[in-house]
Structure 1
């Protein structure tokens, strides 16, 4: 997510420049009388900046609970880092055993899974405060998650719900969401900002194009019979999944062909943007490794692989985001929410075909990067009818929006002269077997007129597209032992939660040294250190207490060395 543009001001006040939609959404939120506010804004539009600005205004410097709920562990850390830029110290490593919000933190970040397991604790912790529920449709993905969210935040004063795309519920309704048909149907948003509007505004999202590839697939059906079809063939709905899975089989020819085409496009883009990256969304972990092997065989460079069974997956994503490595392969970890603005190319190599998932995946390559005047992005997809439908809907929205921009630009006399003054703003049947697959069409043959590829479509950004609306920010709540000064108002040089994590790790290292040096058991060493430093539990200790405990451990070790 882009850094907010901060204006110098008095020590206890700051201002931030918001995009037009963020400003409108903020005003709608501040004037909203109900406890629940649902903001739907396309991926890349800046929901995080809007939400944290809203939290600053809602809190008005008061020390009230602030809780953020995110879909994944990686996104917890991402939210904590973003909050630092707004002067909020949020603890992403909180768990139910910790109990309350740490005394030196403004709030916590938890996952939807944690809401299910720690609902009672969160109920007490969040009472009277504000809760931000990111990608709130996840609360409907698991019945226990929804129940947990409903219980955990029943007594929160305000609940700010965020989603990157409109959603609906035909089964269990998502807590705190209003629906068109009572407890089901389409979710009713209080503010909505879609992909088309973002394209018209300019400088928010990229125009995304959808090269689609047909193919000829052969497989053994669930009943053991031989089957074959292309994506253009009308087949029984129960065979569509097998056809798509066959195309995506790493041992066939369809997938390698499409990966090569996608890499060629990425290489072309990297001539203008050297750090541009590509994303492959795979079916599962085994498939992800196979896709990575295909890419390495073609490119000579091993791609990054982010797998949910790897405890270091978040580190892999962060390292990739900071590097200029070409490709990253993932299953779901990067398909939603993860912020890697340099991604310009993606390959849909998964059998997940829902509209919600598709739009979220497209969002990974749609975020505009300041400083580049032309930023087309490309999402390579199988020409499966379901995916074709999703792609055509977005392409139609894109074309309509670019037409609007052309009309808008025609009314500007010196738009191109202003470019240099642009500013930064912020399970398969047992008998199923894939036999072969061959890619057909794509960019080598003239595409059908409705496949969303038009080389002449682009967005030209002028300075006035990027001009935002500055607003004042109330100071963040004061923490014990800290003055809200100029630096604290927008976060310190290093995130407090990261410093505390380091201190807990160093404390754990000292305990191991003391166990070896004294022959005492771990619990005994921990209890003695807690006694010497005057704390109850390490998990509940603030930064000052952790430093005091670390010093107590060092003093103990030094005294043991003196005895020797």
Structure 2
């Protein structure tokens, strides 16, 4: 296999460091090829007689499967933990369920461990570690012969230290053993250059009881804390406009590359079904939905990866490490506004293929945080997150995951029981007009059960617009002048 230059350099750096240390941390931008690089490294160590087995841990089952396949290809052996296997590939979630049969391997064999997206695992010791970090610290850190930790976003939003990572005592900066950023990757033609379109509107009206307010942009609206962003992404007109713009670009790409695909990132399961319905009504297209509700989610992703289907809608299942290289357009309708998630999603459209057109487009509302991330996309670590704080906790902290309103119910025929949006549109079409062999008949719940969730109503009268501005290091970012002016007004530092 012919490796990319960065992959060969990273492997040489790892081999060199293993002469004096067990652990190696590699930062490579999403889409650069970390899976292949670490699999080749594992085979090299095995051929040199340095290791006996390989274990891999990653954040999702689809990524774990991809690692298993990559290792199997390199070793020409299976990696499923069965008799004759040279290892296995697990999710981090499985750490708590692994029995002593797995942990005894570290006592009997020389084990090489691959940790994908290591930033999910926190802790320098038991006191400041999360559940996944504890298993690494207590079981694998000392017993593994060698490890390689991989990440495309080497920081945590809670500022806790990443497991197995070293930090500078004076500055708190993370110390990566090898760095391959997005600027380098696009320059080397390893990753596509991301082009970002932020849609805005200059005539927004919010009615609350007898009070009416007017806003000239989404940034203006959000600065007043009247309607949260999580509700804006559920408005039909916002969804329609993002879908129309995204679909136009995807159609354009598919005239050159018929396999080009689009990813729509939804906020909840209910939101995903709402988007699918609007996509069908507005554009006439259907989409594959992949959420935690689908028991065969991994099979749906694999099927879409190799198909000619146009759109796939995901709620959190196509983000870190999920490999669908034909994705070239992303419509970002998630309510998640963290920079880590934003960059990981963007990484899904950056993988280079042999197709003739290698453009990549991300469409999103002009929300101030997302716009700021777009300007910083050429950086590898955000300034305000580059440092970590070390804290010793006297007791475990348990957090709850709360579901989004309206996301819990799904009817027996597979459609959501309710769709909650905050827009005064009750009729969304006749079910007789919305049938095809993919979508199936629309049941009564999708025809009329669009419920107003609050007494605030947002109406959008203006035109959705954007203009082009230059970004250092990349081609262009597209965003409205009004949004840019508002960002400057609120003191957002863009450069």
TM class, shorter-length = 0.7 to 0.9
Change (3 A) 1:163 1:71: same
Aligned residue in 2 for 1:190: 177
TM-score (normalised: structure 2): 0.72
- Whether the 8 Å contact between 1:36 and 1:158 is mirrored in structure 2 is yes
Aligned residue in 2 for 1:340: 324
Q: Give the number of the structure whose residues are more often helix, by fraction.
A: 1
Change (3 A) 1:51 1:243: same
How much does 1:21 deviate? Answer: 0.7
Distance in 1, matches of 2:456 and 2:104, equals: 53
Say which of 27, 30, 50 aligns to 1:43: 30
Is 1:30 matched up with 2:15?
yes
Distance in 2, matches of 1:446 and 1:316, equals: 37
How much does 1:168 deviate? Answer: 4.3
Say which of 425, 429, 435 aligns to 2:457: 435
Aligned residue in 1 for 2:368: 385
Aligned residue in 1 for 2:200: 214
Is 1:205 matched up with 2:191?
yes
How much does 1:169 deviate? Answer: 6.4
SS of match in other structure, 2:153 = coil
Distance in 2, matches of 1:394 and 1:162, equals: 19
Say which of 301, 312, 322 aligns to 2:296: 312
Change (3 A) 1:225 1:246: farther
Is 1:111 matched up with 2:98?
no
Give CA deviations for 1:183-223 in whole Å, capped at 9, x if unaligned: x9443210000010011112x111110010113556689x9
Aligned residue in 2 for 1:531: none
- Aligned residue pair count: 396
Say which of 219, 229, 234 aligns to 1:232: 219
Distance in 2, matches of 1:138 and 1:434, equals: 37
Q: CA RMSD in A?
A: 3.2
Distance in 1, matches of 2:137 and 2:294, equals: 31
Say which of 365, 369, 376 aligns to 2:353: 369
Say which of 61, 69, 72 aligns to 1:81: 69
How much does 1:232 deviate? Answer: 3.1
Instruction: State the 4+ residue runs in structure 1 displaced beyond 6 angstroms.
Output: 223-228, 428-431
Distance in 2, matches of 1:123 and 1:226, equals: 63
- Whether the 8 Å contact between 1:247 and 1:255 is mirrored in structure 2 is no
Say which of 36, 39, 44 aligns to 1:57: 44
Aligned residue in 2 for 1:265: 249
SS of match in other structure, 2:32 = coil
- Whether the 8 Å contact between 1:247 and 1:438 is mirrored in structure 2 is no
How much does 1:166 deviate? Answer: 3.0
Unaligned runs of 5+ in 1: 1-15, 93-100, 398-426, 457-564
Aligned residue in 2 for 1:414: none
Is 1:446 matched up with 2:467?
yes
